[in-house]
């Protein structure tokens, strides 16, 4: 593409790529003999370039500019061709042409690379801060960035879920990262100070299709390792070209990373990160991971870690689950015992109420039977059993029984409220040990307690009805047989 463009200006053109950045490509060309061109030739060559890129061609002689041609501005080709024609007619030498390509994103988030080797050389020579800034700038408004590679004879196709690289005939698609979910989890367990400035996740740089270019492969691997460490650490902060890492496990690790060229073996940090963040109890997993990492690093250097660390973490987690299961079963057994105790206590509510009823009924019955027996013994007759005094005493006893009934109902309600409060307090005491779902499954607080109270209330109501009926019978008897004179 670029060689074809310069071929219309020179015979045997000598092309030199000056630079290839994220935003710009600069190429210079010179030749022994300059050629005549027309606007049709230029338009044909320009049409091969992506429409979203802006091309600026500058004509030089002895490092002095003699004209420019801009493909985005109309009516600039005539003056440029006129200057070129003058050089041709005068057979002047030492002519140079510089092509400056200003890169822009296409509608489908594509951005051009015109010299891949120079682009890789640029990235590999950047400082860590400069790399982060460049990748952050191009990712800022795009969930996925597609680098379209031109001027390559071979097909190329490689990339991560966020940054894809391919030649025009090798486009491919990858799944999109669930970035919000990952960042939400990170904020629960880690303090990443520069999260707003560099809002990357490890998956942004993890190769899904790995390149054959070693330097390119190393750049992304280094970033994958770095952000995996950040997402596993308690605290991390970039300043200039250093990152400070704090990790608290069985040991507290404080380390400053200055050399960001990591061994490929450290990609196991990414495996640990994925295991922690993908599923399961996040708090349990990160706790075990940090404990084991702190024990398996050398010289307090988080970049020096045992090869079998991930295996150790998974093995310890399995042991933890087994122990946790045993403890959970023991806990459920203790809860079952507590629930049985509560059921027994709920039965005590009605027992207390019925005891009052029985004592009261026994007292009333004893009083009336005693009156009857004393009447028979003293008079030998069953007429005029209730004297005036006995009648008033009977009424007083019945009124006292009514008072005892009211008091028993008040006491029953008070005990019922206290029992309910104790039950709810018992549930709250397990909230730090069980999830809400587990509590609902074990206690069934909205169902079991209401059913228990419903049965108790039915029994209470039956005794109330019997109590009132007994009082009405005795009151009727007293009123009929009573002597009021």
Domain extent for 391 = 319-481
Asked if the structure places residue 313 within a domain, the reply is no
Specify whether 175 is located in the same domain as 283. Answer: yes
Specify whether 192 is located in the same domain as 212. Answer: yes
246-261 tens-digit pLDDT: 999 989 999 999 888 8
Among 44-48, 89-93, 267-271, 405-409, name the one with the lowest average pLDDT: 89-93
Asked if the structure places residue 426 within a domain, the reply is yes
pLDDT at position 447, please?
A: 47
* Model confidence at 135: pLDDT above 50: yes
pLDDT at position 476, please?
A: 81
Asked if the structure places residue 118 within a domain, the reply is yes
Distances (CA, A) of 81 to 35, 40, 63, 106, 295: 11, 11, 18, 30, 72
Specify whether 83 is located in the same domain as 135. Answer: no
180-223 tens-digit pLDDT: 999 999 999 999 999 999 999 999 999 999 999 999 999 999 99
pLDDT at position 325, please?
A: 60
The per-residue b/e assignment along 174-205, b for 16 or more CB within 10 angstroms, e otherwise, is eeebebeebeebbeebbebeeeeebebbbbbb
Specify whether 56 is located in the same domain as 86. Answer: yes
Asked if the structure places residue 314 within a domain, the reply is no
Mean pLDDT of 324-348: 65
pLDDT at position 382, please?
A: 52
Among 68-82, 152-166, 461-475, name the one with the lowest average pLDDT: 68-82
Asked if the structure places residue 312 within a domain, the reply is no
Using the 3D structure, point to which of 272, 307, 342 is the last residue of a domain. 307
Asked if the structure places residue 368 within a domain, the reply is yes
Using the 3D structure, point to which of 307, 342, 371 is the last residue of a domain. 307
Domain count, the chain: 3
| pTM (global) more than 0.85 | no
Asked if the structure places residue 470 within a domain, the reply is yes
Using the 3D structure, point to which of 307, 341, 366 is the last residue of a domain. 307
């Amino acid at each position: 593409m670029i060689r074809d463009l310069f071929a219309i200006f020179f015979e045997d053109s000598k092309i030199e790529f000056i630079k290839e950045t994220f935003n710009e490509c600069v190429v210079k060309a010179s030749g022994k003999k300059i050629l005549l061109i027309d606007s049709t030739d230029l338009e044909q060559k320009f049409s091969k370039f992506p429409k979203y890129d802006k091309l600026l061609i500058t004509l030089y002689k002895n490092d002095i500019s003699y004209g420019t041609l801009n493909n985005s501005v109309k009516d600039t080709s005539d003056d440029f061709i006129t200057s070129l024609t003058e050089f041709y007619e005068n057979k002047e030498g030492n002519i140079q042409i510089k092509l400056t390509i200003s890169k822009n994103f296409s509608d489908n988030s594509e951005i051009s690379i015109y010299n891949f080797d120079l682009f890789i050389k640029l990235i590999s020579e950047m400082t860590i801060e400069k790399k982060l800034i460049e990748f952050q700038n191009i990712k800022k408004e795009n969930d996925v960035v597609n680098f379209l590679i031109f001027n390559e004879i071979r097909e190329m196709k490689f990339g991560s879920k966020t940054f894809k690289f391919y030649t025009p005939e090798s486009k491919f698609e990858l799944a999109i990262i669930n970035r919000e979910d990952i960042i939400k989890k990170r904020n629960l367990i880690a303090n990443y100070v520069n999260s707003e400035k560099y809002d990357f996740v490890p998956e942004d740089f993890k190769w899904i299709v790995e390149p054959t270019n070693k330097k390119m492969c190393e750049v992304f691997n280094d970033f994958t390792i770095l952000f995996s460490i950040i997402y596993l650490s308690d605290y991390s902060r970039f300043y200039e070209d250093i990152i400070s890492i704090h990790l608290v496990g069985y040991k507290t690790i404080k380390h400053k990373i200055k050399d960001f060229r990591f061994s490929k073996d450290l990609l196991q940090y990414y495996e640990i990160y994925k295991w922690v963040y993908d599923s399961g109890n996040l708090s349990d997993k990160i706790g075990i991971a940090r404990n084991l990492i702190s024990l398996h690093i050398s010289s307090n250097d988080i970049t020096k870690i045992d090869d079998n660390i991930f295996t150790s973490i998974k093995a310890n987690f399995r042991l933890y689950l087994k122990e946790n299961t045993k403890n959970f079963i023991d806990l459920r057994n203790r809860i079952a015992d507590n629930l049985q105790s509560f059921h027994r206590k709920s039965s005590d509510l009605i027992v207390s109420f019925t005891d009052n009823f029985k004592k009261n009924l026994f007292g009333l019955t004893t009083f009336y039977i005693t009156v009857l027996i004393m009447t028979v013994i003293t008079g030998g007759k069953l007429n005029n059993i209730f004297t005036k005094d006995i009648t008033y005493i009977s009424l007083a006893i019945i009124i006292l029984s009514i008072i005892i009934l009211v008091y028993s109902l008040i006491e029953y309600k008070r005990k019922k409220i206290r029992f309910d409060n104790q039950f709810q307090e018992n549930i709250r005491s397990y909230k730090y040990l069980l999830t809400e779902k587990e509590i609902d499954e074990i206690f069934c607080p909205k169902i079991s307690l209401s059913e228990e109270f419903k049965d108790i209330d039915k029994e209470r109501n039956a005794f109330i009805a019997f109590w009132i009926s007994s009082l009405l019978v005795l009151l009727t008897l007293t009123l009929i047989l009573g002597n009021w004179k």
